Every structure is written in C-alpha cells, then in structure tokens.
C-alpha cells in the first residue's frame, strides 16, 4: 500500500471520530444512546478519548451525565484530568469543562452535533470516569446558559452559568431554570464550588442569581467566594423552584454551578440562604447593605430568610463574630424573631410567608 493511500485512510479515521480509547468514536441516534469512559465503572486508562455525538438535522443534542468521577476539582479549576464539551466539533465553543465528582448540568448544542473530549494527565489516579446519555432534543429547551431549562420530577440535577469551568459567563445574559419535584416533596439547592459573580449592594444593578418558590423570592445572590463553596443551602418547602441568572453589560466572572436534590422539608436542621456557616447566622447590624468580609471572600445575599430549626429560638451572633466567616449575608431587613415549637419562618414583609408545616408560626420583619 502506498504512502498516499495510508494517509487517506488515516484522514478518514480522524474524520470518523476514531479515538485512542476503546469506547470513543462517532455516535448517532434518532432517540438516545449511552457513552462512557473505558472500563467504567472501573478506573479509566491513561489515554485521551473523544466522542462525537450526532442527531438528525433540525434537532439539537442534549447531553446528561449520569455519573462523574474524574481527577478532583480545585479552587484553580481542573488541574488534572478533565472532560470538555464542545458545541459542534472540537473547534467549536466550549460549553463547559468538568472534573471531580459534581455532576455537570444537562448541556445543549446549538446544532445537531456535539463533541466530548476526555483529557488525562500522567498520573494513575483510580477514578472511574463518567457515564452519560445523549439524545435528540428540540431547539428552544435552552435556559439561556446552554443547558436544560426545565427539570420535571427529577430527584437530582445541576445548573450552571454558561461556559462554566471553561470561560467566564457573558454580558447581557438572562438564564432561567424551573425545577419541579413530586408533590409533597421539597427542593434543596446547593453550591459545591466557588461562587464568582459581580458584587453590588443588595445585589442590585449588577450580575446576580435570584431564587424563588411559589412566586415568592427566597433570595438574590452575588459576590465572590474562592473557598470551594458558595451560599449556604437553599431550601424550598414547595415542590417547585425557579432560579434566574441575570448579567449586566459590564464585567464578567467565572460564575457558578449548583446542584439540586429532592428532599423532605423538615429533614434539614438549619437552612438559611447565604446567611449560615456551620450553623451560625451571619447578619449585618444596621439594616440593608451591611456586610462583614473576611479573607477577601464576599458573598452578598439580599434574602428572605427561611429557617428550619430544631431549637425553639434562633440566635444571631454579635457583629464581631462575623469576622471569621468565609462569606457574608446582607439582609434587606433585619427580622424580629419569635419562638416556634419546631420551625421558624421569617418573611421580608407582613404579607409574605413561606409555609413549612401547618403548625409553623411566622415572624415578621420590621
């Protein structure tokens, strides 16, 4: 066989998406298919892998990760092995780069193909890689952040700002997610990684993340924490939650990733959006806009406070105790708290209440 023929065969193999790994290559479907790293659920080998995913013309690719177990994420991002998702081929826009064990959001392409690239380093690590499902989806399912906008009766999932892990989010963006679980259950939203969004007084006039339930705002979040964490867990005692991410026209940052879980409302001991660290309240002492900052990490939260506590009376430490906290909460209105036998629910206005149980008492902000 001549050299030209050999080169032509190699070129065809590249175009077909053949990868160095056993499980890679080009995958097409009119419905849905699975992809996974070699040896999964055993540890993956030390070789790169590429998957080219295709659906019919006029449709888009929806990629949902079932599991992820790759070289651990650090505050500097993915410094070892990683999996990168591209819109189109491997020269297209990076939809995200992921590592560690936090399952990525359900990503959407803009056309009928998507590329998944697994990069590996030189060290044996013993991680199991990932398993994912891709399927044909309709245009218009996008949240505005390149991922799925509506989750219905899912026990868990993830949402993220656009290009998370690969690039900063963009200016003048609006993303909206609706999460619904079965009636009678609740939703917990957690921030397992750095939360990096512009900072502003009461989070107004700048990039921010707003969380609401049953038409009532739970909290609005902004600011930055590089301590591998973000705002404290957010609990909706309704079976639905809406999350909205809005950016202005000036300045961008790496953004956020959040996980949600179906749960029972009263199983959590203490939940206070943006205001609890290790079970202690972090609040300002003089009303709107107050915040204490430590270690260069600040997260501001203008929140309606939702507390589900075992003690009959919640406590707020003196302002001096906030100096040891990794991030801060700025409450719009300092609430006056009353005792309740099992639960405390604090609202921002006399007309706004968040029911937790039929026996709960409410406390009203001044």
Q: Are residues 100 and 172 in the same domain?
A: no
Q: Are residues 248 and 340 in the same domain?
A: yes
Q: Are residues 163 and 270 in the same domain?
A: yes
pLDDT at 122: 77
The pair of structure tokens assigned to 145 is: 């952040």
At residue 91, φ and ψ (nearest 5 deg) are -100, 0
Q: Indicate the residue among 137, 162, 189 that finishes a domain.
A: 137
Q: Indicate the residue among 108, 137, 166 that finishes a domain.
A: 137
Alpha-carbon separation of residue 248 from 62, 289, 299, 300, 332 (angstroms): 28, 20, 18, 17, 21
CATH code of 319's domain: 2.60.120.290
Per-residue pLDDT of the chain (366 residues; tens, 9 = 90+): 554 454 444 444 444 444 468 999 999 999 999 999 999 999 999 999 999 999 999 999 999 999 999 988 777 788 889 999 999 999 999 999 999 999 999 999 999 999 999 999 877 778 999 999 999 999 999 999 999 999 998 999 999 999 999 999 999 999 999 999 999 999 999 999 889 999 888 898 889 999 999 999 999 999 987 666 678 899 999 999 999 999 999 999 999 999 999 999 864 333 344 432 222 222 322 222 323 233 334 454 544 433 333 333 323 333 222 222 223 333 333 333 333 333 232 233 333 223 333 233 333 333
Q: Are residues 195 and 335 in the same domain?
A: yes
**Structural domain range at position 202:** 150-364
For 12, the enclosing helix (H) or strand (E) is helix 3-15
Flag whether 75 is in a domain.
yes
Flag whether 12 is in a domain.
no
Q: Are residues 325 and 242 in the same domain?
A: yes
pLDDT at 149: 96
Q: Are residues 68 and 204 in the same domain?
A: no
Q: Indicate the residue among 137, 170, 196 that finishes a domain.
A: 137
The pair of structure tokens assigned to 38 is: 């070699």
At residue 301, φ and ψ (nearest 5 deg) are -135, 120
The pair of structure tokens assigned to 303 is: 């929140």
Flag whether 88 is in a domain.
yes
Q: Are residues 183 and 79 in the same domain?
A: no
| Beta pairing class for 306-307 and 344-347 | antiparallel
pTM listed for this prediction:
0.71
Q: Are residues 159 and 261 in the same domain?
A: yes
Measure CA 224 to chain center: 15
Angstrom distance (rounded) from CA 243 to CA 234 = 11
Nearest to 104 by CA among 154, 51, 67: 67
Q: Which residues contact 113 (CB under 8 A, 6 or more apart)?
A: 52, 53, 54, 55, 61, 88, 89
Q: Which residues contact 209 (CB under 8 A, 6 or more apart)?
A: 197, 220, 221, 222, 243, 244, 245, 256
Flag whether 234 is in a domain.
yes
The three-state secondary structure class of 221 is strand
Q: Are residues 220 and 300 in the same domain?
A: yes
Contact 53, 112 (CB under 8 A): no
Question: In the beta sheet, which residues pair with residue 117?
Answer: 50, 84
Flag whether 155 is in a domain.
yes
Flag whether 227 is in a domain.
yes
Angstrom distance (rounded) from CA 348 to CA 259 = 26
DSSP structure string for 148-176 = B-EEES-SEEEEE-TTTTTSPPPSS-EEE
Count of structural domains, the chain: 2
User: Is the four-CA dihedral 203, 297, 267, 263 of positive or negative sign?
Assistant: positive
Q: Are residues 198 and 163 in the same domain?
A: yes
Q: Are residues 65 and 170 in the same domain?
A: no
Flag whether 322 is in a domain.
yes
The three-state secondary structure class of 315 is coil
pLDDT at 102: 93
Flag whether 8 is in a domain.
no
Angstrom distance (rounded) from CA 10 to CA 43 = 29
Q: Are residues 291 and 359 in the same domain?
A: yes
pLDDT at 348: 30
Alpha-carbon separation of residue 85 from 94, 169, 171, 312 (angstroms): 6, 16, 21, 48
């Amino acid at each position: 066989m001549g050299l030209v023929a050999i080169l032509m065969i190699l070129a065809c193999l590249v175009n077909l998406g053949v990868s160095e790994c056993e499980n890679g290559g080009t995958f097409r479907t009119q419905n849905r298919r699975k992809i996974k790293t070699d040896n999964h659920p055993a540890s993956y080998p030390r070789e790169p892998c590429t998957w080219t995913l295709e659906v019919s013309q006029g449709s888009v690719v929806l990629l949902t990760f079932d599991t992820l177990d790759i070289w651990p994420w650090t505050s500097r991002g993915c410094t070892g092995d990683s999996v990168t998702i591209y819109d189109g081929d491997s020269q297209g826009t990076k939809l995200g780069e992921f590592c560690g064990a936090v399952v990525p959001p359900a990503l959407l392409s803009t056309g009928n193909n998507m590329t998944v690239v697994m990069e590996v380093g030189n060290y044996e690590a013993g991680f199991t890689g990932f398993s994912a499902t891709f399927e044909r989806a309709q245009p218009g399912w996008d949240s505005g952040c390149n991922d799925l906008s509506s989750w219905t009766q899912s026990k868990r999932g993830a949402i993220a700002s656009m290009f998370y892990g690969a690039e900063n989010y963009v200016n003048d963006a609006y993303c909206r997610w609706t999460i619904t679980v079965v009636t009678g259950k609740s939703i917990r939203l957690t921030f397992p990684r750095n939360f990096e969004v512009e900072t502003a007084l009461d989070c107004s006039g700048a990039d921010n993340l707003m969380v609401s339930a049953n038409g009532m705002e739970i909290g609005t979040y902004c600011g930055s924490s590089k301590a591998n964490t973000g705002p404290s867990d957010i609990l909706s005692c309704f079976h639905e939650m809406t999350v909205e991410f809005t950016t202005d026209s000036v300045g961008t940052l790496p953004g956020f990733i959040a996980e949600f879980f179906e749960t029972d409302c009263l199983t959590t001991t203490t939940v206070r959006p943006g205001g609890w660290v290790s079970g202690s309240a972090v609040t300002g002492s003089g009303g709107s806009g107050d915040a204490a900052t430590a270690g260069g990490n600040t997260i501001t939260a203008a929140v309606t406070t939702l507390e589900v506590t075992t003690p009959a009376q919640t406590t707020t430490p003196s302002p001096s105790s906030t100096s040891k906290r990794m991030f801060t909460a700025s409450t719009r209105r300092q609430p006056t708290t009353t005792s309740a036998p099992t639960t405390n629910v604090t609202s921002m206005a006399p007309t706004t209440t968040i029911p937790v149980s039929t026996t709960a008492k409410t406390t009203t902000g001044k």
